[in-house]
Structure 1
Amino acid sequence: MNRPDPKNVKQIACIGAGTIGGGMIAEFLARGYSVTAQDPGKDALASLERLLDQAWPILEQIGLTASASRERLRFTTDIEEAVAGADFVQESVPEDLELKVRIYERLDELVPPEIVIGSSTSGFPMTEIQRRCKYPERTVVAHPVNPPYLIPLIEIVGGEKTDPAVLDWAVSFYEAVGKRVLRMEKEIYGFMINRLQIALFREALQMIAAEQATVAQIDDCLTHGLGLRWASMGPFATFHLAAGDRGLGSFMDLHGSVEWRAPYVTETPLPDWTPELRARILQQAEEVIDGRTIPQMIEERNDTVIGLLKLREASRANAAKKHLGAAHAA
């Protein structure tokens, strides 16, 4: 099938212009695409303009492409008008499964079968969304992190009937947009981002309900502790450094047993701790370690955390100055 070149897309249709849809619209405009946004809401255009007013200065700091312009935006309430001539369709309607199924059924009728349609759904598998499509092979989940114009990661995963070539196309397209693409090979509810996010949030709720922690304590635990480390490296790389010069394998041998892990888990059952699982983790961790020595990784982590601490202190001082200036002006 003769699809548009994913690195040469010109015209994008964005169906839904709320918080996520509007964020994607802002990013597409900042990367020089022409965008037609569609939303039937009474105040949708005004809300979108407010979001763009907030997002555009941030995007200017990140760096606009030479052809970036808010003048490349057209708005309509008519879905047929929105998709006419589109090289790609981004759907971001509210998280209502039946609504998404209906929208995809309609898009399936209006959009030529060679045009890829991506959904920003935060939880529904594409297999469920594409079920009434005649051309389900061109549909794919493209789940961003809010706000999409600021956070680079986007998750890509297909449904049972999605063509693998469409996943390849979507990866190339979003990389051209400037996203960090996380391509998933298996469908799961919530995808990776929300599975991890909700697992942490669930533990936080458990501790608050049991009066073991407060909201402020949990936020401090992340913003002054785990979050600082995770900005530099994820949990497996972190544990790789936790065993001194012995690395991840030694850490898992010492701390990997069910007996050690069970007291820290309130909901999700743990997998069996088998030699096969241990070997798979170590093999996959090599991609993350990427040939770096433990001293190199420690230095990288330290530099990142020091930079973040200084940046946060400077940002808070700057915000306090602005607030004080605004108070004096009033």
Structure 2
Amino acid sequence: MGPIAQISQPERVAIIGAGVIGAAWAARWILCGSDALVYDPGPETERIVTEVADNARHSWERMGLAPVREGSLTIAQSIEEATDEVSLIQESVPESVALKKQVLEQIEKSAPESALIASSTSGLLPSELQEEMRYPERFLVGHPFNPVYLLPMVEVVGGKRTSADSVSSAIQLYETAGMKPLEVRVEIDAFIADRLLEAVWREALWLVNDGVATTEEIDDAIRFGFGLRWAQMGLFENYRIAGGEGGMKHFIQQFGPSLDWPWSKLTNTPDLSDQLVERISSQSDRQSGHLTVRELERIRDNNLVDILLALEGNSWGAGETVAGLRDKVPGSAIPQEK
């Protein structure tokens, strides 16, 4: 294969798979000015991608980031059409090793030799996915977070046969889209962020399973409590503050012993029986069933925009990526307070 191209702002990107993640990838890229070619065999692909793009456009307008020129959005009829003359191919099909390998095989048959191929997988090892590829050196994981058009984090994970140049190029490429790439230096299942999320998810399942709390009560504990802290400062920085003037060492000395107490069940998962699934589903329906998914997305996005703008005003955390995007998008300006 040819050398991986050094990527600045890509003119064309391919999105293979247009579920929640794939559609949001397409939205971010077109708002950054790149043309996005999307392929998904589903009959509702065009509607889903269009609706997600509308949500993304609304959010960027509220942030004062409405681009002078958007990239074009094309719903391709095949993988071959989608991958024509692109710099990046972002595979975003469901989490199945067999399916992803099948799709990657199809991608390689038509992809330009200089194009990077990235998977949006949230936990599958890139070394396993690239096992049967002809050019595994250009393949890696680019794991984003929903909604991709607002959350800047993307975990970049190379496999055993991924070249260092590919990892470097992917980081540069994602930065052109205003993202915050985090290179996961050690290949590990579920990478970094999802290992943390899975721990919270397992404990939440036990709380519902054991009748300790409902889905709404658990969500309230997060959104009225530590979730607000996590939106602007990470785990260790928050705990450093909790340690007072003694810092992290004092915090660990004070609270470290509690790690041996039987407070959690983080090492196993309750049986997802029909009864438990029904309990979770019915509680979730009572909690949020009066809103459509698109209405919930709009509420979420409006809240995220305001948080990002506040962080930008303080030159802190994810707000710095918004400031970076403002430098890239001609004519953008910080919205005036109402």
Partners of 1:101 and 1:51 in 2: CA distance: 27
CA drift at 1:260: 4.2
State the one-letter code of the partner of 2:247. G
State the one-letter code of the partner of 1:143. H
1:177 alignment partner in structure 2:
177
2:10 alignment partner in structure 1:
9
Q: CA-to-partner distance for each residue in 1:158-187, whole Å, 9 max, x for gaps? A: 111111221111111101110111110112
1:193-212 to 2 correspondences below 5 Å: 193-212=193-212
Partners of 1:164 and 1:231 in 2: CA distance: 32
Task: Supply the RMSD in Å over aligned alpha carbons.
Answer: 2.0
CA contact (8 A) 2:153 2:180 kept: yes
CA drift at 1:55: 2.4
SS, match of residue 66 in structure 1:
coil
TM-score, normalised to structure 1, is 0.76
CA drift at 1:33: 0.2
State the one-letter code of the partner of 1:264. W
1:294 alignment partner in structure 2:
none
SS, match of residue 118 in structure 1:
strand
CA contact (8 A) 2:26 2:36 kept: yes
1:128 alignment partner in structure 2:
128
CA drift at 1:105: 1.3
Partners of 2:160 and 2:130 in 1: CA distance: 9
SS, match of residue 112 in structure 1:
coil
Gapped regions of structure 1 (runs ≥ 5): 270-302, 308-330
Partners of 1:36 and 1:110 in 2: CA distance: 14
SS, match of residue 81 in structure 1:
helix
More divergent stretch after superposition (47-56 vs 95-104): 47-56
CA drift at 1:232: 2.2
CA contact (8 A) 1:28 1:35 kept: yes
Partners of 2:18 and 2:211 in 1: CA distance: 40
CA contact (8 A) 1:17 1:92 kept: yes
Partners of 1:260 and 1:123 in 2: CA distance: 26
CA drift at 1:4: 2.5
Partners of 1:98 and 1:133 in 2: CA distance: 13
1:280 alignment partner in structure 2:
none
1:293-304 to 2 correspondences below 5 Å: none
CA drift at 1:14: 1.2
State the number of aligned residues.
269
State the one-letter code of the partner of 2:16. I
SS, match of residue 90 in structure 2:
strand
Which has the larger share of helix?
A: 1
Partners of 1:75 and 1:111 in 2: CA distance: 17
Partners of 1:81 and 1:179 in 2: CA distance: 27
1:83-102 to 2 correspondences below 5 Å: 83-102=83-102
CA contact (8 A) 1:255 1:261 kept: no
CA contact (8 A) 1:31 1:64 kept: no
1:50 alignment partner in structure 2:
51
SS, match of residue 256 in structure 1:
helix
CA contact (8 A) 2:97 2:129 kept: yes
Partners of 1:186 and 1:124 in 2: CA distance: 13
CA drift at 1:23: 0.3
1:107-146 to 2 correspondences below 5 Å: 107-146=107-146
CA drift at 1:26: 0.4
State the one-letter code of the partner of 2:27. A
Q: 1:260 to 1:110 in 2, by over 3 A?
A: closer
1:324 alignment partner in structure 2:
none
More divergent stretch after superposition (211-220 vs 126-135): 211-220
SS, match of residue 24 in structure 2:
helix
1:239 alignment partner in structure 2:
239
Q: CA-to-partner distance for each residue in 1:29-54, whole Å, 9 max, x for gaps? A: 00000111112222212222222223
Partners of 1:112 and 1:240 in 2: CA distance: 48
Partners of 1:267 and 1:141 in 2: CA distance: 26
SS, match of residue 156 in structure 1:
strand
Which of 1 and 2 has greater Rg?
Answer: 1
State the one-letter code of the partner of 2:24. G
Gapped regions of structure 2 (runs ≥ 5): 269-309, 315-338
Higher RCO (C-alpha 8 Å, min separation 6): 2
CA drift at 1:77: 1.7
* % identical aligned pairs: 34
Partners of 1:208 and 1:36 in 2: CA distance: 42
State the one-letter code of the partner of 1:31. C
CA drift at 1:86: 0.7
State the one-letter code of the partner of 2:70. A
Q: 1:175 to 1:59 in 2, by over 3 A?
A: same
2:307 alignment partner in structure 1:
none
Q: CA-to-partner distance for each residue in 1:262-302, whole Å, 9 max, x for gaps? A: 42332339xxxxxxxxxxxxxxxxxxxxxxxxxxxxxxxxx
More divergent stretch after superposition (190-199 vs 166-175): 190-199
CA contact (8 A) 2:9 2:34 kept: no
1:297 alignment partner in structure 2:
none
1:68 alignment partner in structure 2:
70
